[in-house]
């Protein structure tokens, strides 16, 4: 099933981690770019950071040179193995990767991050889980900040109706157009005593430059035994491009909600040497 542990393990085994297999052209203000821009405004060499649901560690390794320490954890061992190999290859010393599931179901009914108490100044999560929010009061230092990007659904573009149905999923063709934080996440935030300081819905265009990239987008994460090979479906996808693509490619819209929260006021930017011990 999509987003099950076995599904994530299959993605890790099939590729180079939790990353997409298609190329696309991102329009200005893309949700992922806006999330990265905001994180870069918050990081400093005086803070300790955690990336919750870090996947293969791309963000951890990118932000590590800008912070004092950073921990990335994920429930999928294969992602963590890829991340640790990349860390060693790049010679990054202030990053730590841990295979762990912070969900309460995996920790005797209590959500728990693999971190010591009062260890973190900045919590990050790009499309990651949300159960870690419950453990923030224990792990956060006074004034810690949380930043998360939550993907949001969009209406299917007109060209989607021309795509062979075997490539489509309900998530694409019948999205539930709730454009706000889920009640479950809001409840977790409230119970953890976290103050939401901002919520920003970000939308931007993205273009697939070729029919093959569209194919990789539509089949990403699906069992290759139940989807047709590209050469079996190429003619149909080429027709979609001929009828609907512009000179930039086939247009698609992305949306994401970037929310921020804080614990106990302004961020505590410590200047003493320290770490976020496990």
pTM reported for the whole predicted model: 0.88
Q: Where are the domains of the chain?
A: 5-153+175-204+255-262
Query: Given the DSSP bridges, would you call strands 25-26 and 95-99 parallel, antiparallel or unpaired?
Result: unpaired
pLDDT digit string, tens, across residues 204-260: 999 999 999 999 999 988 877 888 999 999 999 999 999 999 999 999 999 999 999
Please tell me the predicted confidence (pLDDT) of residue 225: 81
Please tell me the predicted confidence (pLDDT) of residue 8: 72
Q: What is the mean pLDDT of residues 179-203?
A: 93
Please tell me the predicted confidence (pLDDT) of residue 6: 78
Whether residue 120 contacts residue 144, with contact meaning beta carbons closer than 8 Å, is answered with yes
Q: What is the mean pLDDT of residues 264-268?
A: 47
Range 9-14 contact pairs with CB under 8 angstroms and sequence separation of 24 or more: 9/76, 9/77, 9/78, 11/221, 12/56, 12/76, 12/78, 12/79, 12/82, 13/78
Please tell me the predicted confidence (pLDDT) of residue 59: 98
Range 4-8 contact pairs with CB under 8 angstroms and sequence separation of 24 or more: 5/75, 5/76, 7/221, 8/75, 8/76, 8/79
Q: What is the mean pLDDT of residues 117-136?
A: 95
Please tell me the predicted confidence (pLDDT) of residue 141: 97
pLDDT digit string, tens, across residues 52-67: 999 999 999 999 999 9
Candidates 1.10.3080.10, 3.20.20.70, 1.10.3720.10, 3.40.50.150; CATH matching 5-153+175-204+255-262: 3.40.50.150
Please tell me the predicted confidence (pLDDT) of residue 200: 95
Q: What is the mean pLDDT of the chain?
A: 89
Query: Given the DSSP bridges, would you call strands 95-99 and 69-74 parallel, antiparallel or unpaired?
Result: parallel
Task: Give just the sign of the alpha carbon dihedral 170, 171, 173, 174.
Answer: positive
């Amino acid at each position: 099933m999509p987003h099950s542990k076995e599904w994530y393990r299959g993605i890790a085994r099939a590729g180079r981690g939790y990353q997409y297999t298609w190329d696309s052209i991102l329009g200005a203000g893309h949700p992922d770019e806006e999330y990265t821009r905001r994180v870069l405004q918050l990081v400093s060499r005086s803070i300790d950071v955690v990336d919750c649901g870090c996947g293969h560690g791309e963000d951890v390794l990118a932000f590590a040179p800008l912070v004092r320490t950073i921990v990335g954890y994920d429930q999928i061992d294969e992602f963590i193995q890829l991340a640790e190999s990349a860390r060693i290859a790049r010679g990054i010393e202030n990053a730590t990767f841990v295979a762990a599931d912070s969900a309460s179901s995996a920790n005797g009914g209590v959500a728990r991050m693999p971190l010591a108490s009062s260890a973190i100044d900045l919590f990050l999560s790009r499309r990651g889980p949300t159960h870690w929010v419950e453990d923030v009061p224990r792990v956060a230092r006074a004034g810690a900040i949380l930043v998360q990007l939550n993907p949001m659904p969009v209406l299917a573009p007109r060209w989607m109706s021309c795509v062979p149905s075997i490539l489509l999923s309900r998530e694409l063709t019948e999205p539930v157009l709730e454009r706000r934080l889920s009640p479950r996440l809001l409840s977790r935030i409230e119970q953890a005593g976290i103050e939401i300081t901002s919520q920003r819905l970000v939308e931007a265009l993205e273009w697939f430059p070729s029919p093959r990239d569209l194919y990789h987008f539509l089949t990403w994460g699906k069992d290759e035994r139940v989807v047709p090979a590209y050469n079996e479906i190429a003619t149909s996808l080429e027709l979609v491009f001929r009828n609907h693509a512009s000179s930039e490619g086939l247009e698609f819209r992305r949306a994401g909600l970037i929310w921020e929260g804080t614990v106990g006021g302004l961020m505590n930017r410590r200047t003493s040497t320290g770490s976020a011990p496990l």
